[in-house]
Amino acid sequence: MKTFGELASQPAPKSFWRRALARVAGDRPLEDYLIEQANLRGFWGAYLAEAPRSGKNPALGSEEIVVGLLAPQSSADARVLKLVTRILQSGQVDEARLLLLARREKAEGVLQWLIRGIPQPERTATIDRLERALAKARSPRAPVLDYSFGRLVKRPATAGDLWSRARRKS
């Protein structure tokens, strides 16, 4: 799977912060660890095949999870975009800290691209403030990723969904 850095034609910077996070994650991919930490905080935007291996890390904030998942070194996984959107919608992020971390870790481009794409029914005051703040920043490279932002709109399941049709056939 390609990384956000590859899709933005942006070389991944050497990051001591990310290396320290990877040590905490242990033998599993850092993205899986961050998704697990987000799920333990109640942001159920991405599914993991295995049960949580660790408890909630109190030293890790929502800002670190967002930046860790959107950094140029991270895999460009569509399920992560929905998870990050849910975290931003919650209003539980320190916007100034998030922007500082994103700038330092070169995740601004992906964050700006994601925020610009969030459809109107899913926009919150936090997302609008982040968009305005990122518009003032130097224009970073956005990833070239074929992603339908309509997938971010919350809607109830219908009988026509693929998974429900597959379950009825079995």
Tokens for 70, please give them.
Answer: 């959107």
Residue 164: band (very low, low, confident or very high) from pLDDT cuts 50, 70, 90? very low
Mark 119-153 as b/e (b = at least 16 C-beta within 10 Å): eeebeeebbeebeeebeeeeebbbbebeeeeeebe
Residue 161: band (very low, low, confident or very high) from pLDDT cuts 50, 70, 90? low
Instruction: Convert the pLDDT of each residue in 88-136 to its tens digit.
Output: 999 999 999 999 999 999 999 999 999 999 999 899 999 999 999 998 8
d(CA 74, CA 4): 6
pLDDT value at position 145?
Answer: 77
Written as one string, the DSSP assignment of 64-80 is HHHHHHHSTTSB--HHH
Instruction: Look at 116 and 167; give whichever has higher pLDDT.
Output: 116
Instruction: Convert the pLDDT of each residue in 56-83 to its tens digit.
Output: 889 899 999 999 999 999 988 888 998 9
pLDDT value at position 159?
Answer: 57
Mean pLDDT of the chain: 84
* Residues 6 or more apart in contact with residue 167 via CB below 8 angstroms: none
Contact 98, 67 (CB under 8 A): yes
Residue 3 sits at φ, ψ, to 5 deg, of -95, 165
- The residue whose two tokens read 């109830």 is 156
Instruction: Provide the sign of the torsion angle of the four alpha carbons 70, 74, 78, 83, taken in this order.
Output: negative
- Helices of type H across 26-74: 30-40, 62-70
Determine the residue type at 151: R
Element (H, E) at 52: none
Mean pLDDT for the stretch of residues 157-166: 54
Domain residue ranges in the chain = 4-169
Contact 133, 99 (CB under 8 A): yes
**pTM for the predicted model, two decimal places:** 0.83
Contact 119, 153 (CB under 8 A): yes
